[in-house]
Amino acid sequence: MLVRCKKTFRDFEERKTRIEGEEFEVTPERYESINATKYGVLVEAVERDADNVETDTPKKRPQRRKAAE
């Protein structure tokens, strides 16, 4: 599931600092774990737009063309 940070926090499981507004993928269990801390609700679920396929698929890098020999 896609979540968005409501507050900046240190994600010890992923070993990174999550900045307010950052979006990232977590499992439902991880979502509950993050929000069950003494610091309150740190992330919120983000609704995905069914028509927006771009958010569901990773972007591919353009292929380089081979030089003509």
CA angle 7, 14, 27 (to 5 degrees): 80
Is pLDDT at 26 greater than 90 in this prediction? Answer: yes
Task: Flag whether 7 is in a domain.
Answer: yes
Task: Flag whether 24 is in a domain.
Answer: yes
Q: Please, is 18 exposed, middle or buried when counting C-beta atoms within 10 Å of its C-beta (0-12, 13-18, 19+)?
A: buried
If DSSP codes are grouped into helix, strand and coil, which group holds residue 65? coil
DSSP letter at 1? -
Is pLDDT at 29 greater than 80 in this prediction? Answer: yes
Q: How many domains does the chain have?
A: 1
Query: What pLDDT is attached to residue 23?
Result: 95
Q: Please, is 43 exposed, middle or buried when counting C-beta atoms within 10 Å of its C-beta (0-12, 13-18, 19+)?
A: buried
Task: Flag whether 57 is in a domain.
Answer: no
- Could you tell me the residue range of the domain that residue 21 belongs to? 2-48
Is pLDDT at 56 greater than 90 in this prediction? Answer: no
pTM above 0.75, yes or no: no
Task: Flag whether 53 is in a domain.
Answer: no
